[in-house]
Structure 1
């Protein structure tokens, strides 16, 4: 990929990390057209957490997104029982938005800079002994039927992948997940995950 690139954005109330999968229901015409274009050209789009506005744009409203997101490609699609188009996307690489604007069909476009860290395909980094409990926690989370259905492939011997998946799967607010995505250092992300996990455990035990 070039250092900078122009891509369409898909603003959501969710945070996606590289290697993660996210099921989406598509019903707005602008996104039906975007998905069709991506399937034809074997391209993708950026997923960014909404900072302001709603996922569905209405007259007189606008969307504002966080400036760090993840590029995603469509890995599966089907017509859902409710008649809507369902797709599953997989994150590939983190990016940072340089400029962002809506085009005529209201799809947000952005010039992005690809991150030097946090992308699929990097050499594995072995988790340390004191991170073994995080690996065990991730294995437990992966056993949940909803997570199993995503068909994730995870190398538990790579602390980068462990951090990505824990950041997605822990029951913490989206703003906390966004803060984790914005970190460039895996060790720092794992330390922050430890702090969030301690908060979750205190809340559930009180």
Structure 2
């Protein structure tokens, strides 16, 4: 399929939302056409170049983005919220003016719904909930239930989008099609994060209680 490509210093995962502020002429034109024709566009991490100015070269694997909401601003600018759909791989670039258009293949992840994968997904969901609770506790907030999808692939993508990872690590998770492999990688990352946060939260909790008056 042919897809307009938006190279960004960001990784969009299927099912995740991403806000965008559109102000460059080429991208105002791109989004205007996508909105008129109700077409998606592609988000891909920049391999070389910058978001603004000269055209940037994207990595081959990205995510198809559907426009979910738009706020039109003066001078043709707009604020958008897009939602990730399928992964894609760029086959070839068709044109670069006024914006990048590419021929892409849609990438399908393997179906991994066996008992081992479902069990792994539940373990990773539990560790992520613990991690999220520790992050909230460290900031002094109130813990609340974390809503996560049950399907292994969707769960892996949702967690990947919410983890504070560097762009290369996020891109590796995007390029990995196997839900089981993504979940295994996230299990390692989350387990290490929980071990790091637990003593910090305990120390912060003790410090807060030390400042309170004691009732005898």
TM-score in terms of structure 2 length:
0.73
Q: Give the match for residue 146 of structure 1.
A: none
> In the aligned structure 2, how far is the partner of 1:156 from the partner of 1:110?
31
Shift of 1:103: 2.5
Task: Say whether 1:34 aligns with 2:27.
Answer: no
Residue 118 (structure 2) aligns with: 127
Q: Tell whether 2:81 aligns with 1:85.
A: no
Note the C-alpha offset of 1:195: 2.3
| Coordinate RMSD, CA, aligned | 3.0
Correspondence for 2:209: none
What do residues 1-41 of structure 1 show as CA deviations (whole Å, max 9, x unaligned)?
Answer: xxxx1111000111111111100000001111111111111
**1:68-127 deviations in Å (ceiling 9; x for gaps):** 00001111011469x94100001111111111254221x111111111228xxx898883
Asked if residue 192 in structure 1 is aligned to residue 185 in structure 2, the reply is yes
Structure 1 residue ranges without an equivalent (≥5): 144-153
Aligned in 2, Cα 1:39/1:84: closer, same or farther, shift over 3 Å? closer
TM-score normalised by L of structure 1: 0.77
More strand by share: 1
| Change in CA separation of 1:166 and 1:99 when aligned onto 2, cut-off 3 Å | same
**Comparing both structures, which one devotes a greater share of its residues to helix?**
2
Q: 1:174 to 1:91 in 2, by over 3 A?
A: same
Report the number of matched residues: 183
In structure 1, the residue matched to 2:142 is none
Runs of 4+, deviation exceeding 6 Å: 122-126
